[in-house]
Structure 1
Amino acid sequence: MNRYEAILVGISIMVVCLYHLHLYIKVKRSPETTAVGMTNLMRQQWVETIMAERRDILAVQTLRNHVMASSLLASTAILIALGIVNTVLRPAGFQEISHALNIVGTRSETLWVAKLMLLAVDFFLGFFNFTLAIRYFNHAGFGLGLPDQHVGVASHEFVVEVVNHASLHYTIGMRCYYLAIPLGLWIFGPTWMLAGALILVPVLYRLDRTV
């Protein structure tokens, strides 16, 4: 990796990391101004309403939708990751195309393989988080279905924590998909990666804000 590519890659990583550090601080200090914080509060009220009013059908339908979405995204992530690994093993003409578009970056086969493996790891991480989301959503279904006399076993706070854990892993899984944009563009050169990062961050900022 030459110095020019290292600088552009470093800037891209710094932009994405600084944004998520900013988001983390905002969620902790002013959750009502972020989509993550607001949905956490809404899930808390939703769980309390479901358990108090015994709206079991609504709970089942909502959790089923989340499990189905997580299953689809987990399956897609693992298929993409395995496809990338297969590309590493059998590069064919894809390597030539990526090198042709790589204007200022290093055209090294070793670095090219490292880029693909990093992208594969990103999708494997997404798969892992979506499967954890499915696990927590299934656990939440049992807690939401308990009658009031079992409140000591699964209190409102415990069920809220389980649902929020599921949603956190779902969110991380989606972030892995988003992160795949600059990582995927890096295959074609560091300038493409920087452009992807600079476009991605404003889009995420718009999606993550409530005000």
Structure 2
Amino acid sequence: MEWSKVCMDVIMIPSGVLFPIVYHGWLFYMVRTRPQRTNLGIDAVGQQLWISAMLKDNDKKNILAVQTLRNSIMSSTLMASTCILICCGLLTFTSNIYSHRSYETSTFDSSGAITLAFKSATLVLVFLSVFVSQALSIMFLNQVGILINILTMECCTITEQHVYILLRKGIFLNTVGNRLFFIALPLILWLFGPIPVFVCSLATVPVLYNLDIVPGEKKPVIGVRVANA
């Protein structure tokens, strides 16, 4: 019985994680080859246009630029705080299971303390990765907020392209953190067994597809090329 449960974990958990990984690999290919069909590709073009728009009449738009960046920083802060709370909850759950001698009959994990510790450590590691990505995103976005309002000064030696690269890095890290969060959420169901993880991961792919892909052919923005982060 125990061996069959281990086999299910070994087969279904990697399979469940593989679905979103393969999807994001395909999405990366689409962003590189057909960016006009993806929201990420369109956003990349829009970010470069946004910087150029903010530099025109900067005296009137400097507050708008800072407020826009602040909204992105707030979303990254919310995601980072959520990950820390989830990590604290997982550690508290694990310590409570260990504090009771009846963990062998626990409805969450009947395979023993080693399996429970491995599951909790895996979840904490993934959510900490999300936290690090969001923290780095906040750092880059803060730099953009400082630099974007001084580009119009004559003594400034910083180029618009440099600020755009910083913005792309900040948005890219925010996107990576969000996608890791979407992959990690089904893994929480691992505490209840491998089947919920497999089903939830499989259901996540069509949801992300509808969010990422723009229906129909879209004309690319003329005169602007998507720069690599």
Global fold match (TM > 0.5):
yes
In structure 1, which of residues 178, 183, 191 is the aligned counterpart of residue 195 of structure 2? 191
In structure 2, which of residues 68, 80, 96 is the aligned counterpart of residue 90 of structure 1? 96
Give the counterpart letter for 2:108 in structure 1: S
Alignment partner of 1:99: what SS? coil
Which string of whole-angstrom CA distances, capped at 9 and with x for unpartnered residues, describes residues 20-74 of structure 1?
1111111111111111111111111001110133121110110111112222221
TM-score, normalising length: structure 1: 0.89
Q: Does 1:78 align with 2:105?
A: no
In structure 1, which of residues 51, 58, 61 is the aligned counterpart of residue 55 of structure 2? 51
Q: How does 1:48-197 map to 2 (within 5 A)?
A: 48-54=52-58, 55-91=61-97, 96-99=106-109, 107-150=111-154, 153-197=157-201
Percentage of identical aligned residues: 28
Question: In the alignment, is the contact (CA less than 8 A) between 2:151 and 2:158 conserved in 1?
Answer: no
Distance change in 2, residues 1:124/1:151 (3 Å)? farther
Give the counterpart letter for 1:57 in structure 2: I
Which string of whole-angstrom CA distances, capped at 9 and with x for unpartnered residues, describes residues 59-90 of structure 1?
01101111122222212211211221222222
Distance change in 2, residues 1:108/1:202 (3 Å)? farther
Deviation, 1:146, is 1.1
| Count of residues in correspondence between the two structures | 205
In structure 1, what is the Cα distance between the partners aligned to 2:149 and 2:6?
Answer: 58
TM-score, normalising length: structure 2: 0.82
In structure 1, which of residues 1, 9, 14 is the aligned counterpart of residue 13 of structure 2? 9
Alignment partner of 1:97: what SS? coil
Give the counterpart letter for 2:107 in structure 1: I
In structure 1, what is the Cα distance between the partners aligned to 2:112 and 2:30?
Answer: 40
Give the counterpart letter for 2:79 in structure 1: L
- Long gaps (5+) in structure 2: 216-229
Which string of whole-angstrom CA distances, capped at 9 and with x for unpartnered residues, describes residues 9-30 of structure 1?
2221221211111111111111
Question: In the alignment, is the contact (CA less than 8 A) between 2:84 and 2:127 conserved in 1?
Answer: yes
In structure 2, what is the Cα distance between the partners aligned to 1:150 and 1:160?
Answer: 19
Give the counterpart letter for 1:72 in structure 2: L
Q: Whose helix fraction is larger, Structure 1's or Structure 2's?
A: 1
Deviation, 1:150, is 4.7
Give the counterpart letter for 1:173 in structure 2: G
In structure 2, which of residues 205, 209, 213 is the aligned counterpart of residue 205 of structure 1? 209
Deviation, 1:5, is 2.7
- Long gaps (5+) in structure 1: 101-106
Deviation, 1:151, is 8.3
Deviation, 1:120, is 1.0
